[in-house]
Structure 1
Amino acid sequence: MVSIDIAQLYAWINAFLWPFFRILALLGTAPVLGESSIPARAKVGLAAVLAIAVAPALPPMPQLPAGSYAALGLGVQQILIGIALGLTMRIAFAAVQTAGEFIGLQMGLSFASFFDPATGANTAVLSRMLNIIATLLFLALNGHLIMMGALIRTFETLPVQPRALNINGWGVLLEWSSQVMASGLLLALPLIIMLLTVNLAMGILNRTAQQLSVFAVGFPISLLTGMVLLAVVLPQTSTFLSGLFEEGYKSMARLAGALAGH
């Protein structure tokens, strides 16, 4: 007859519960896997399956009663870690959407927006298009698998321990968030330069040939030029986006190391 005592039960609960909290928090905030179109039950089920799969290979977990205040604090800590790791990769996609905002503003498409259920706000058409391209490339490069692998490695860098997190880790997240503007501007820079050149040419034309209504022809020319440039530039963005994703994976590792005080 198989007998299970309370110590074994607590050991099994602890081996599953803490990884589950960290994985679920990442699945709730990370790009692609954390989209609102994915049902919450699917996210919880996937997090549970992953926690069961990786629990035997993880370092020993602290033996805490699941109903104690110490366990509650440890669970909140793991949720915060998972959210921070998920936001790290979300920042890379935010940079792509920012690039779409910059390009749409120069093309005159800043008013062309619609409600995006993924973000819960109005999103520019070009931002949504670039986000879809980045998502497809992310999946094609197995980015979701690399991201989950980086999460599992954080259990070695930042083991589950009832201790305070190093405050420098949140500084790493804030530093990485600067890439929203920096990388977004770099991605949109070729089109911004060309469209500014077109607008400058329209301004000079308006001063030399005042009888020509630049406002009537300027918008179609800017829009057509932007479409042509998009067709030329978009196939070349895969290298930039893959490098951005790589920096996101490295930032996840740096964040985990900084939170651990390394």
Structure 2
Amino acid sequence: MLFGLPDFAAPGVAAAFVLTALRVGGLLLVAPAWSAKSVPMKLRTAVLVVFAVLLLPSALQTADRATLVITPATFLAETAIGFALGLAAALVIAGAEFAGELATNTIGLSGAAIFDPVNNTQGAILGSFMQLFALTLLLVAGGHV
């Protein structure tokens, strides 16, 4: 055990690492902050590996190492679980952004659009504010955990 990391040659540890990385990878595909075009793919890959290594000890405590096997079913299941977690957060953020856009149109501020350099589009002022506000509330409430 070097630097608190488990021995990857031990039975079941490598499979647990891959399955943990699959779940984190599914999450990073659609998570609100990490799925943006402005986040480079190398950074996402590094975050995926770091998160998988950090979550591996807790995954090993709850898993039966002898029965951990990587099959197409477990591959798809772990990716789908991570995807569902990220999609839930993305839906909350998108709902807040849509509510801000509706409020912008209702108030009459639809002519005052701001430029979004990430998506190369113009967006509603309150939509961008509500998106960032919802992301902040999600993080403060512990939604990232």
TM-score normalised by L of structure 2: 0.73
State whether structure 2 residue 99 is matched by structure 1 residue 93: no
Query: Rg larger in 1 or in 2?
Result: 1
1:102 maps to what in 2? 102
2:6 maps to what in 1? none
1:87–1:122 distance in 2 versus 1, CA, 3 Å = farther
1:193 maps to what in 2? none
Aligned-pair distance for 1:22?
Answer: 0.6
1:54–1:101 distance in 2 versus 1, CA, 3 Å = same
Q: Do the aligned partners of 2:92 and 2:134 also contact (CA within 8 Å) in 1?
A: no
Aligned-pair distance for 1:17?
Answer: 0.3
Cα distance in 2, alignment partners of residues 39 and 103 from structure 1: 32
Q: Structure 1 counterpart of 2:58, which letter?
A: A
Q: Percent identity?
A: 26
State whether structure 2 residue 30 is matched by structure 1 residue 29: yes
TM-score normalised by L of structure 1: 0.44
Q: Do the aligned partners of 1:36 and 1:117 also contact (CA within 8 Å) in 2?
A: no
Q: Mapping of 1:167-246 within 5 angstroms?
A: none
Q: Do the aligned partners of 1:112 and 1:125 also contact (CA within 8 Å) in 2?
A: yes
1:56–1:133 distance in 2 versus 1, CA, 3 Å = closer
Aligned residues: CA RMSD: 2.7
Q: Mapping of 1:1-262 within 5 angstroms?
A: 8=9, 11-58=12-59, 59-60=62-63, 62-64=67-69, 71-113=71-113, 116=116, 122-139=122-139, 141=140, 143=141, 146-149=142-145
Which structure has the highest helix share of the two? 1
Q: Structure 1 counterpart of 2:132, which letter?
A: I
**SS state of the match for residue 147, structure 1?**
coil
Cα distance in 1, alignment partners of residues 121 and 48 from structure 2: 27
Cα distance in 1, alignment partners of residues 43 and 106 from structure 2: 40
1:9–1:90 distance in 2 versus 1, CA, 3 Å = same
In structure 2, the gaps of 5 or more residues are 1-8
1:120–1:26 distance in 2 versus 1, CA, 3 Å = farther
Aligned-pair distance for 1:116?
Answer: 3.7
1:128–1:148 distance in 2 versus 1, CA, 3 Å = closer
1:14–1:49 distance in 2 versus 1, CA, 3 Å = same
Aligned-pair distance for 1:86?
Answer: 0.7
**SS state of the match for residue 123, structure 2?**
strand
